[in-house]
Every structure is written in C-alpha cells, then in structure tokens.
Amino acid sequence: IASRSLIQMNKQPDLQMVGHIPQISALSRRARHDGQNYVFALLTGYHDPPAGVQIREGLHYNPYFPGGAIAMPKMLMDGAIEYEDGTPATEAQMGKDVVSFLSWAAEPEMEERKLMGVKWIFLLSLALLQ
C-alpha cells in the first residue's frame, strides 16, 4: 500500500525509492509488537556493516531492519538540533522524541481513553463498595 501511495502522490517518484516501502510511520509503531522499541531501534541502529556484509548502493546497514539493508538514510545525528531547555541533543534523545510523537500521532485520543478508564474503574469500585 505504501509504495503504491508513494507513486500515486508523485507521478515521477525518486528512482531510489521505487520498490522500497517507507518504514517509519505512526502505523508501523502500532502495527508491530513492541512497536515503539522497534522504531527507536530502527532510528538509532545505523552502523557500518560487519566484515563480509555487502550493502547495495542506495541502501544503508541497520541490523534492526529485516535483511539489514534499508533505503532510509540515517536521520538522527548528535547535535543536529538545539532544545530550548538545554537538553543535550543526542541521537537517543531525538529518537525518543520522534517515537513519542509518532505514538501520539497514531493514537491522539489515547490519553483521553486512559483517563476514561480510570474514571470507570473509580465508579465501579464505588458501586462495589455499596
């Protein structure tokens, strides 16, 4: 679906992206078991390939991606941004921030549902006490 959507959005897609499904999305965070940790590992897991491992041109080595080769280049670099509160802009911190945002984007109503659950538990416990 994602690769078809990419081609429909752009009638002349970047040739490097043809056949590659974009991996980072709010839906991939929800669709995979332990999705938040997967997305964090994927964002922060770029390394040089081990000896003997060949990676095709246009792909990047990331052991957390199935097959170890991903079309998305490394996006997070230490010091790439400046936080207003002085938090060090490490790759891990930015990865955590991206994962938090994607979690919210996938389920913006989650906080409201959790609050509703707490209210129901409180009301049910009051009803049981009577």
Annotated binding-site residue numbers:
72
- What's the CA gap between 1 and 3, in Å, rounded? 6
- What's the CA gap between 34 and 97, in Å, rounded? 17
DSSP β-bridge partners for residue 60: 70
Residues making up the annotated binding site for heme c are 72
Residue in the structure block whose two tokens are 């609050």: 115
- What's the CA gap between 96 and 36, in Å, rounded? 9
- Residue 95 makes CB contacts below 8 A (sequence gap 6+) with 40, 43, 44, 76
Q: DSSP letter string over 38-59?
A: HHHHHHH---PPPTT----TT-
